[in-house]
């Protein structure tokens, strides 16, 4: 055996000894008991996620009261939206930021806003196509943005981590908490104010303009409603009593109109942000596709035809 071969063999034995340790065992090897010694955390019971569940309950309750009790619905819906700001504080305070919580938060926002827009489409049928377009834009922009973030940045990335070089507008929106809160708050305020307007100037439905008949062709009078407290809380939204209550709950249009005009510019900015988000995310996905196709040798160059 040559000297060089002897040195290589000795070095290899030394490296093996170092990797395995003095006792011949791998020091990086852990027994299963060591890995499983810590208790398994229940992500679903983290405080931010519990706040998220409360938001869902409040949103569902607001949908129930939406056709008949504008004040009750507005309060429940508004509290559900405001809690969106507290789950982030809870996540940072308790160190409980999770991907499940981020998805739960986004899905709750999208679904609750969409449900309100569906009601507005029914309340203002002339503008139904606009509300339908807003629902489609909201869902598509956020879905493509989150998907593009995962594809470009990997599973560890967040949809809020937008660099200024990618989009200064989205960077300002997602990284500045004050801007994010004001835009989201005034955007929701606009739709809530529109909802209240549907109870102020005129009834929500043409059915409310008609006398609601009961058996024998009689007409229900507002002062003739005499039902138990339980039935008042759990009314059929399309019953004769509920329609009369909706008519009795009409509110003054002054403040809803003020809120509509004050919040309209910010609502428009929010829709512009959705369009920018949709276009940027689509561009990022297209760039990933171009890179992947180049790695696969696509498009294949056609062979020159010999004469």
Q: Would you please indicate which residues are annotated as catalytic (active-site) residues?
A: 109
d(CA 88, CA 274): 22
Q: What are phi and psi of 219, to 5 degrees?
A: -115, 135
Cis link prior to 299 (omega < 30° from 0)?
Answer: yes
Asked whether 193 and 259 are in contact (CB, 8 A), the reply is yes
Backbone angles phi, psi at 52, to 5 degrees: -60, -40
Q: List residues bridging with 193 in a β-sheet.
A: none
3-state secondary structure of 272: helix
Alpha helices in the chain (DSSP H): 3-20, 32-35, 47-65, 70-93, 99-123, 128-153, 168-175, 177-197, 229-233, 240-248, 254-295
Q: How far apart are CA 29 and CA 235, in angstroms?
A: 64
Residue with tokens 């507002």: 222
CB of 99 within 8 A of CB of 81? no
What is the Cα Rg of the chain in Å?
30
For residue 271, give both structure tokens: 């829709």
Burial pattern 77-115, b for ≥16 Cβ within 10 A else e, equals bbebbebbeebbebbeeeebeeeebbebbeebbeebbbb
- Retrieve residue 110's tokens: 């999208």
What is the rounded CA–CA span in Å between residue 71 and residue 156? 42
HSE value, Cβ hemisphere, 13 Å, CA-based, for 201: 11
């Amino acid at each position: 055996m040559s000297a060089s071969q002897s040195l290589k063999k000795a070095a290899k034995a030394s490296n093996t000894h170092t990797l395995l340790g003095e006792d011949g065992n791998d020091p990086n090897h852990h027994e299963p008991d060591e890995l499983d010694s810590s208790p398994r955390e229940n992500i679903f019971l983290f405080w931010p996620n519990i706040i998220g569940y409360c938001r869902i309950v409040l949103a569902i309750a607001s949908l129930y009261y939406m056709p008949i009790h504008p004040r009750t619905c507005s309060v429940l819906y508004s509290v559900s939206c405001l809690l969106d700001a507290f789950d982030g504080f809870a996540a940072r305070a308790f160190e409980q930021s999770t991907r499940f919580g981020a998805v739960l938060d986004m899905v709750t926002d999208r679904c609750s806003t969409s449900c309100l827009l569906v009601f507005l489409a029914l309340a203002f049928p002339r503008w139904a196509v606009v509300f339908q377009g807003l629902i489609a834009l909201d869902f598509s922009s956020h879905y493509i943005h989150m998907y593009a973030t995962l594809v470009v940045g990997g599973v560890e990335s967040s949809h809020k981590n937008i660099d200024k070089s990618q989009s200064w507008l989205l960077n300002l929106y997602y990284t500045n908490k004050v801007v994010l809160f004001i835009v989201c708050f005034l955007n929701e305020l606009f739709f809530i104010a529109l909802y209240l307007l549907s109870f102020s100037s005129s009834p929500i439905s043409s059915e409310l303009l008609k006398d609601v008949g009961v058996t024998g062709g009689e007409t229900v009078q507002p002062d003739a409603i005499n039902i138990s407290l339980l039935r008042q809380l759990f009314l059929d939204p399309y019953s004769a009593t509920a329609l009369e209550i909706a008519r009795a709950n009409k509110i003054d249009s002054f403040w809803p109109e003020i809120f509509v005009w004050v919040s309209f510019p910010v609502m428009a900015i929010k829709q512009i942000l959705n369009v920018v988000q949709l276009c940027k995310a689509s561009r990022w996905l297209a760039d990933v596709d171009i890179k992947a196709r180049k790695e696969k040798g696509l498009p294949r160059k056609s062979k020159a035809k010999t004469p």
